[in-house]
Amino acid sequence: MSGVGAVLARTRAQDRAALVGYLPVGFPDVQGSIDAMVAMVEAGVDIVEIGVPYTDPLMDGPVIAHAADVALQNGARLADVFTAVRAVADAGAPVQSPWSEPGALRSPLDGASRRTGNAMPRERHRRWGSRR
């Protein structure tokens, strides 16, 4: 077992909840969001949930919708998520990314592990499938 599953098993064995931090990539800007994610890991979060900016203002509420809107206006792209995943993994925490299936299927998932240096488990890619 690796990644998120291993962290949840470890924290369960320690009789504690896992501390999960969330930040959308690209807010306030791409590098600032990545620096903040790494800082969360260094401060002790167990898992980092990386938000993928998208344009559904009702899905997550006004605060996250605002952050996603700012990120998109500032040019955040799906490729930046892969950069963030690699940075968080290098800092020592597994990543959970709640990106939507339609967004994921528009990206060539076969290369996702290469872009993240295998920081994202391949099982996730198989679960999402591929339409190619």
Active-site positions read 49, 60
Whole-number Å distance between alpha carbons of 130 and 68: 26
- Residues whose CB is less than 8 angstroms from the CB of residue 64 and which lie 6 or more positions away in sequence, other chains included: 24, 51
Whole-number Å distance between alpha carbons of 68 and 28: 9
Cα dihedral sign, 93-96-99-102: positive
> Residue-wise over 105-122: b if at least 16 C-beta within 10 A, else e?
eebebeebbebbeebbbe
Whole-number Å distance between alpha carbons of 88 and 21: 11
